[in-house]
Amino acid sequence: MNEECRREVKVSIPAAEVTTALDKTLQQYQKFARIPGFRPGKAPMSTIRTRFLEDARHEVIEKLLPEHYRAAVIKAELNPISQPNVTNLEFKEGEPLTFTAEFEIMPEFTVKSYKDLKAEKKDSAVTDEEVEATVKELRERQATYDAIEDRELKDGDYAVASFFGKPKGLATIVAKKAEIAAKKAVVAGNAGAKPDFDAVPPAENAQPIELKEVLVEIGGANTVKEFSENLLGAKPGDEKTFDVTYAEDYPDNRLAGHVLQYTAKVEAVKKKVLPELNDDFAKSLGEFATLDELKARIRKDMEAEKRHSVEHTAKEKLVDELVSANPIPVPQTLVEKQIDTRLERGFRALAQQGMPLEQIKKMVTQQLRDAQQNAAMREVKASLLLDKIAELEKVEVTEEDIKKEVEISAAQMGMPVEEVRRRLEQNQGIERMKDRMRNEKALELLYQQ
């Protein structure tokens, strides 16, 4: 618990009320208990107390504590946002039942300097060069690859090749072996000897790689240079064997830092054929009559995306400045709930990608929760501050706003609007939606001021 948000109430339940509740509970046990040697309901109370007193005490506690706790917080004019942690429970017959309940409440605070915040609104215009670059990408995607008969591979060609790669060891191990072997060769007077790379132990976490009929651009910017160098000049049917040393920071972790010996067979030689850039090209991409119409749509979509990106970045910066200017206390209860939300969102994405539920459950560790702490704390602070600003600025979310948001959700989920609304209303989803939209409106107010 956050000590600044922590509150407690000390409760004392009158002895007479406790005694009455305990007696009634024991009488119920006496009425229904089956005890050897006695008919149902005829066992003496002394026997009932001996056998069921502890159970009866637990029932009395479960009955009396919640109602007296609620009465105590109402009397103290407190509004708990967490379940109570009960301590110092004293339950002795003939005496008042006493306990202390601690919990968290929403913090009291004022928002400082929010009217002084200014959003950084960068230009979201799209240049002709950006439009042309997108057209070029679309043209590349529509390219075809024509076979070239009876010719060796040249720069700019595409090889259709099948590969088998065998791990030889970590690059650092190979280099060390080579260095040691070279030194030994010099000592032995055979400086021209080559180290035996086959003597290098295989890497523990590298697996063989087999690829069939892969398209490889010779000399391409994204082609590993060893592939271009060794396949250059090859013809269909040729087989090449060569080593590839992958850098420690290679994007594919399975290959980073490893040396693989590849055997590559060239299946075909092809050249890329780009479609002509004209109205027919535009028509092939959809409901465009001309190339100019295609470019106009590209510009419109890029401007909308850029506007959204610029606005999102500016609003995130505003939130950071707002949180930084207002170091308010945050209930740990809300932080824990936000951590749950963040993890649930991430796990849902993993499940949609096909990860088994059992594997996802194994990921839930305290370490994972701790890693979410700072981000969750920032999100809760931002939510509390924006909620307060919405209150100060009298920001409201109308029923029409809710209706539109539900319709958008329904369209995204592919479900009827009524069904989405019903589900939201079952678990207070409408209220959560309303709170989120209210905060979004408050942030929009800061962005526009």
What are 412-437's pLDDT values in tens digits? 989 999 999 999 988 888 999 999 99
pLDDT tens column, 253-282:
888 888 899 999 999 999 999 999 999 999
Of all residues in the chain, what percent carry a pLDDT higher than 70?
92
- Residue 330 in 3-state DSSP? coil
CB 163 within 8 A of CB 210: yes
CB 276 within 8 A of CB 135: no
Half-sphere exposure (Cβ direction) of 407: Cα atoms closer than 13 Å = 6
- Taking the C-alpha atoms of residue 45 and residue 50, their distance in angstroms, rounded to an integer, is 9
Predicted local distance difference test score (pLDDT) of residue 262: 95
| For residue 37, pLDDT beyond 80 | no
On whether the pTM is more than 0.75, the answer is no
Predicted local distance difference test score (pLDDT) of residue 255: 85
Predicted local distance difference test score (pLDDT) of residue 181: 67
Give the containing element (helix H, strand E) for 387.
Answer: helix 373-392
Residue 64: count of CB within 10 angstroms of its CB: 19
Give the containing element (helix H, strand E) for 84.
Answer: none
Predicted local distance difference test score (pLDDT) of residue 304: 95
* Summary mean pLDDT of the chain: 90
CB 439 within 8 A of CB 389: no
- Taking the C-alpha atoms of residue 288 and residue 297, their distance in angstroms, rounded to an integer, is 9
Predicted local distance difference test score (pLDDT) of residue 173: 63
| Size (the chain), residues | 449
Contacts of 202 (CB under 8 A, 6+ apart): 167, 168, 169
CB 163 within 8 A of CB 231: no
Predicted local distance difference test score (pLDDT) of residue 101: 97
Interval 315-342 mean pLDDT: 94
Confidence of residue 204 (pLDDT cuts 50, 70, 90): low
- Taking the C-alpha atoms of residue 38 and residue 278, their distance in angstroms, rounded to an integer, is 100
Predicted local distance difference test score (pLDDT) of residue 430: 92
Walk me through the domains of the chain, giving residue ranges and CATH numbers. 6-104 (3.30.70.1050), 144-273 (3.10.50.40), 284-448 (1.10.3120.10)
Tracing tokens 């928002």 back to the chain, one arrives at: 111
Interval 340-368 mean pLDDT: 84
| For residue 314, pLDDT beyond 50 | yes
| For residue 200, pLDDT beyond 50 | no
Q: Considering Cα of 322, then 325, then 328, then 330, what sign does the dihedral take?
A: positive
pLDDT tens column, 136-150:
999 999 999 999 988
Predicted local distance difference test score (pLDDT) of residue 402: 94
Contacts of 229 (CB under 8 A, 6+ apart): 242
Q: Phi and psi of 144, rounded to 5°?
A: -115, 165
Which range, of 102-111, 195-204, 382-391, averages the lowest pLDDT? 195-204
